[in-house]
Structure 1
Amino acid sequence: MPHPDFKPLSLMSASPVAAAGDPWTPLPYADVPRYDARSVLPHWPRLHAGHPVTPPDEGHPLAEGWARYHNGEFERAATIGLLHGAQGLVLANQATAIYANYLEPRESMRLSMFRQVIERAGAQAAAEPDNCHALYWQAYALGRYSQGISVARALAQGLGSKLKGALERVIELQPNHADAHIALAAFHAEVIDKVGALVGRMTYGVRAETSVELFERGLELHPHAPGALMEYGRALLMLHGDARMGEATRLYEKAASMQPADAKERLDVELARAGLSD
């Protein structure tokens, strides 16, 4: 059964601590779909259903970078992204944040990677206030960094308001951004869980009903997202406790049974299975 304290921060938290400077931990699964610079493009709408990104031109080096990302070669993908300026930052930030969230075994390195994404995306958002990619990855990294240092501490530092504002701006600019809906829904639930419904509403403007509405909209936009189903299940338990355990379990079961389209979804499916076995 999933439990609200089950936080999908890393699949590798029990791994031996690696020495500084070691290569990034490789994806531990061989059964993921494989793409190359050409084959990734026809699958683009499905692969980017949650976070719309304009595909690179065929033959552009970023096509290879995105193929590497979807294959789970996160370090190589981030390196390619950083070689291609502003256009490559979405790839670099996405690869770094997803790797840090799921696979990096060292807590200090994980937090450092989230800070890198926060800084890179934050600088880009400051220069381009309507850049949805920069705003979203800034918010994503802020959310995971906040979980790493404790949500209460992050709220006291003002990180929650920054995260909420960035996600609301993404949705304003791009109403069909499924991942932004899910992330903002999770934020509402997490704050209520940590500070209570009254303080959450008065201080941070969060509401349980808004969380549910955002989750429902996000899943309407992208119904084949195992990570979103898990987040919804966790949120129901945070907001309503064991009264919603049956529904939360069904969401985890649906996530665990999905056929992943890429490495990130494969990691989510594994986390859903782990959550059910807890």
Structure 2
Amino acid sequence: MAKWAAFPRPGEFRFDAAGVRRLWERLHASDAEPLPADPAVLEAWVFFHNGEFQQAAESGVRAGGAGITVANKATCIHANYLEKREKTRLDLFQEVAQRGDAQLKADPQNANAWYWQAYALGRYSQGISVAKALAQGLGSKVKDSLERTIELQPRHAYAHAALAAFHAEVIDKVGSLIGGMTYGARKETGLTLFEQALKLSPASPIVLIEYANGLVMLEGERRLKEATRLYQQAAAITPVDAKEWLDVELAREELQD
């Protein structure tokens, strides 16, 4: 595996296994991942929360089982935030989707196996264009996987936000009529899902960011002031780990533009 780009603030977060275990509920408030029993999987999560995403991915794959979830999350976060080469980004998302297929065959009741596969396919779809992805049937797979995630884990804030974003992006790209008839995308459903995501995880910067983006896609410029306020809330959060740091920085950069 080629060396991945490093987290921009190495050493900013210094978790050990005991620290991750102690803060597990806060660290995983948005994805409801259960605390692993396997020490090797917990160690992979230590790498992840410290921003050592490549080590997290490699350790998760080696550990197997619940470790695949760490590997998939680490790969997705690296690809989305740190990988600059577009082809490599898309290849990494495809890798996660394929690994997710294998994970789901072994453990079909694993909510985060469904979620990270949906995340990878969703980001891949954005990379090739949402319209092209919809034509290839990827949109339906993303929607179905996110709905399955929520069915298995109703407290999954990320899945609520991602499913809301699906409704928003489809309507934004193809309009309400075609979006509703062809892909089951509805503005009211998207807004409700965003509200549920925020209720489940009000301190999540990425939930705030996705909500802000979705409001503008679904309701236009009349919600721009509210969207800006949501970005300001995200930018003001003190990040608890490396992934949240990347989210907070994203909000701050957007406000500066």
TM-score, normalization by structure 1: 0.90
TM-superposed deviation, 1:57? 3.5
Tell me, yes or no, if the aligned pair for 1:178 and 1:218 is still in contact at 8 Å.
Answer: yes
Aligned to 1:51: 31
Percent identity, please.
57
Query: Which whole-Å CA distance do the structure 1 matches of 2:104 and 2:62 have between them?
Result: 19
1:74 aligned residue: 53
Cα distance in 1 for partners of 2:10, 2:93 equals 26
Q: Partner of 2:138 in structure 1?
A: 159
State the secondary structure of the residue aligned to 1:154. Answer: helix
* Alignment match of 2:6 (pick from 13, 23, 26): 26
- The answer on whether the counterparts of 2:51 and 2:243 sit within 8 Å (CA) in structure 1 is yes
Extract unaligned runs of 5+ from structure 2.
Answer: none
Contact 2:36 2:66 in 1 (8 A): no
Tell me how large the CA RMSD over aligned residues is.
1.3
Q: Distance in 2 between matches of 1:216 and 1:164?
A: 18
Contact kept, 8 Å, 1:32 with 1:266, in 2: the verdict is: no
CA distance in 1 between counterparts of 2:124 and 2:12 reads 27
- C-alpha displacement of 1:22: 4.1
Query: How far apart are residue 88 of structure 1 and its match?
Result: 1.0
User: Matches of residues 170-181 of structure 1 in structure 2 within 5 Å?
Assistant: 170-181=149-160
1:264 equivalenced with 2:211 (yes/no): no
Deviations 1:23-72 (A, max 9, x none): 100011247332012211000000000111221248x1222211110010
* Secondary structure in 2 matching 1:38: helix
1:64-101 per-position Cα deviation (integer Å, ceiling 9, x unaligned): 21111001000000010001122210011011111101
Matched residue type, 2:28: H
Correspondence 1:190-209 to 2 at 5 A: 190-209=169-188
Native 8 Å contact 1:47 1:261 kept in 2 = yes
Residue 42 (structure 1) aligned with residue 22 (structure 2): yes
- SS of match in other structure, 2:76: helix
The answer to whether the aligner puts 1:183 opposite 2:186 as a matched pair is no
Kept after mapping to 2: 8 A contact 1:32/1:260: no
Correspondent of 2:206 among 217, 222, 227: 227
Indicate the residue corresponding to 1:236 in structure 2.
Answer: 215
Which whole-Å CA distance do the structure 2 matches of 1:41 and 1:54 have between them? 11
Matching residue within 123, 147, 150 for 1:144 = 123
| 1:103 correspondence with 2:77 | no
Q: Distance between the aligned counterparts of 1:263 and 1:208, measured in 2?
A: 33
Distance 2:217 2:95 in 1: 29
Higher normalized contact order (CA 8 Å, seq sep 6+, divided by chain length): 1
Per-residue CA deviation, residues 156-180 of structure 1 (Å, 9 max, x unaligned), is 0000000000111111111111111
Tell me how many residue pairs correspond in the alignment: 257
CA distance in structure 1 between the partners assigned to 2:253 and 2:214 by the alignment: 17
Between 1:129-138 and 1:23-32, the stretch displaced more is: 23-32
Ranges in structure 1 where 5+ consecutive residues have no aligned partner: 1-20
- In structure 2, C-alpha distance between the alignment counterparts of 1:162 and 1:100, rounded to whole Å: 20
AA aligned opposite 2:103: Q
Between the aligned partners of 1:65 and 1:128, the Cα distance in structure 2 is 19
1:133 Cα shift? 1.6
Check conservation: 1:142, 1:163, Cα contact below 8 A: yes
| Cα pair 2:21 2:35 within 8 Å, conserved | yes
Alpha-carbon spacing, 1:61–1:128, altered in 2? closer, same or farther (3 Å): closer
How far off its partner does 1:215 sit?
0.7
